[in-house]
Structure 1
Amino acid sequence: MEKHTLKNFDRDLEQIKSEINKLSDIVLKEFEQAIKVFDQHDTELAQRIVAQDKIANQCLTNIEHHGAKVLARQHAVADDLRFILSSMRMAPRLERIGDYAKSMAVKASKFNHVIPDELTQKFHQMHVHLITMLRSVIDAYNDKNAAQANVVWEGDEALNEYYRDIYAHLLEGFQHHITVPEQQVELLFIAKGLERAGDHISDIAKDVQFMVNG
């Protein structure tokens, strides 16, 4: 972002960027903790994630309020306008991604049966890929790197493949009556949540491309 005569405008833009990064840090932490809940069925940790998600919701409110105030007060044009609009579109997507982490933790904390190692590994692979996508798209936002955002967008197909693999694995378990139906349904919801979180990350990648290239 180029410097402006009005220092307040520069501070406003930096604050929006800082708030986006604060929100993304919370969401990343939620996912890092959610996989621990998945492995350990830790009810207390799941409750902490729920509490953190309330902070994420407040971050979203702050970003929307601050962005609207800047648009109303300043005559933003070209790059700066795209930056503000893209940031305001990214914020609710990040908040929604955090919702999927919260849902994963809450569901997993209630599991009463051991998840087979093969299935656990598949969820871990999907989770790692999601975290990698999220970190990469935030880096692309901070660096204004459209090429990197495009790589993130293309990576969504791999996440979809992980979901299809887990879906097929769970379906096979249903058909052969070798699984606990209630827990398997919850596992399917978790996998779908991770897949949907990937869709939101892909949308953020598009927001970054718009911010950079228009």
Structure 2
Amino acid sequence: MEGESFSALCTPALVVDVDKVKRNAQRMIERCHKLGVQLRPHMKTHKTLECADIMTGGSRRCIVVSTLAEASFYAEHGFDDILYAYSLPFDKVERCAALSERLDLFQVLLDHPDALDQLKKRPLSGGRQWYVWLKLDCGNGRAGILHSEPEALQLAQAIAETDGVELTGVYAHCGNTYNCRGVEQIQAVAQETSNFTLQFMER
């Protein structure tokens, strides 16, 4: 399309300013570095290798996906340290196991004791262990175990005490920002979610 006008595009079409994408991604990478936190960008919107390379600074590590198809796609193209950010589907445990045994680091989300039982039934080969993030509901109401419920802490303890399973982190999603109007409301939800998550981690 180089040299042609936008009107020549067959619609619908995605038009990306690659230089702007690179600048935004680099700014986010640098900001997280200054804050001393690891950036883990989500792949679910663009689903491309090109943008994934930009968002990871070329490292091809430390990404989030929403489906196992995405996880497999990125794994097949040299990406590693992948978090499957969807509460573990029981019918997909074997596929998750295959990725866990193939990659240096493949991580799953749990939000229910029954899901932990599924991992116990499928120990990984080669002395590997399941890497698990606990999915918290911090007010979104869509998925996860409610942060304020005693069962949430009990599940975290159960994960940590299970042989062959490591509690790697806590995951929360601010989907309740979708109905916000304006930056202030969005920031308030983000702050509340951060507070709830940090309070849970302290407990």
Q: TM-score, normalised by structure 1?
A: 0.24
| RCO comparison, higher one (Cα < 8 Å, 6+) | 1
- Could you say which structure has the higher strand fraction? 2
Greater helix fraction, Structure 1 or Structure 2: 1
